[in-house]
Amino acid sequence: EGDEGEKGDRGEVGKQGKVGPKGPKGNKGPVGDVGDQGMLGKIGPIGGKGDKGAKGLAGGSGKKGKAGTVCDCGRYRRVVGQLNINVARLNTSIKFVKNVIAGIRETDEKFYYIVKEEKNYREALIHCRDRGGTLAMPKDEATNALIADYISNSGLFRAFIGLNDMEKEGQFVYADNSPLQNYSNWKEGEPHDPAGHEDCVEMLSTGEWNDSECQVTIYFVCEFLKKKK
């Protein structure tokens, strides 16, 4: 048995060992630097109404206005006046037409209409004429009865008809200047006019005629010719 040899050289580095077990959790590190600005958030709700601001300073004076035009007011007043007259005339005509439609009588050839406005004989004559007619002229029994019935049904006692003896006392003529023919319907004792004042004729609700003063103002009957078809 030999002697123990010398200590050999140091061997090479051995192979890496296996990964050891996970060590314990380290301590919390220091706070990092401030990061970049984040993205813009959503728009918040609209705030409440603010207080009223202070009154602003007064503005400067405006420029001088243009000169006004001279009004020819007199002419306009005349025009307006004339319009008012025309409107009044139209209103009268409308009233007349409305009344006519409401209460008219007719024969084959004519319309008869009682105008319930108190007028004297001459005014009544003009009123009927202005509307295209004449004061009613009963020239036969049938027409006279129709007008009499109309007068009494209207609750009237009398109304002017188109008959007078203004030209020659006692010679009665119709509104169309034709003389009395073979028909008349005088009340008993009429015409009676010793003083010569009663030159116009009214029909009573009975249909009888009576001569009366032309200046009395009473209702009257107009007649209108029907237009030929």
CATH number of the domain that residue 163 is part of? 3.10.100.10
pLDDT score, position 95: 67
The one-digit pLDDT tens for each residue of the chain (229 residues) are: 788 888 888 888 888 888 888 989 989 989 989 988 888 888 888 888 888 889 889 988 889 888 877 777 777 788 888 888 888 888 777 666 655 555 788 888 999 999 999 999 999 999 999 999 999 999 999 999 999 999 999 999 999 999 999 999 989 999 999 999 899 999 999 998 888 889 999 999 999 999 999 999 999 999 999 887 6
> Do 123 and 202 share a domain, yes or no?
yes
> Do 94 and 111 share a domain, yes or no?
no
Residue 51 lies in a domain: no
pLDDT score, position 100: 57
> Do 177 and 197 share a domain, yes or no?
yes
> Do 111 and 202 share a domain, yes or no?
yes
**Range(s) of the domain holding residue 80:** 72-101
Residue 59 lies in a domain: no
pLDDT score, position 17: 86
Residue 115 lies in a domain: yes
Domain count, the chain: 2
- Measure the CA–CA gap between 218 and 220, rounded to whole angstroms: 6
**Cβ 128 vs Cβ 135: under 8 Å:** yes
Residue 37 lies in a domain: no
DSSP letter (8 states) at residue 93:
H
Residue 34 lies in a domain: no
- For the full predicted model, state whether its pTM sits above 0.85: no
Sequence-distant (6+) residues with CB within 8 A of 151 are 114, 158, 159, 203, 204, 205, 221
**Cβ 183 vs Cβ 159: under 8 Å:** no
> Do 140 and 183 share a domain, yes or no?
yes
> Do 138 and 162 share a domain, yes or no?
yes
pLDDT score, position 97: 63
pLDDT score, position 163: 97
**Cβ 181 vs Cβ 95: under 8 Å:** no
pLDDT score, position 229: 65
pLDDT score, position 224: 95
Residue 26 lies in a domain: no
> Do 96 and 119 share a domain, yes or no?
no
Residue 76 lies in a domain: yes
- Measure the CA–CA gap between 215 and 217, rounded to whole angstroms: 6
Strand 104-106, strand 110-119: pairing: antiparallel
> Do 88 and 155 share a domain, yes or no?
no
Helices (H), the chain: 73-102, 121-130, 141-153
Sequence-distant (6+) residues with CB within 8 A of 10 are none
Residue 145 lies in a domain: yes
pLDDT score, position 86: 83
> Do 130 and 76 share a domain, yes or no?
no
> Do 220 and 114 share a domain, yes or no?
yes
> Do 113 and 201 share a domain, yes or no?
yes
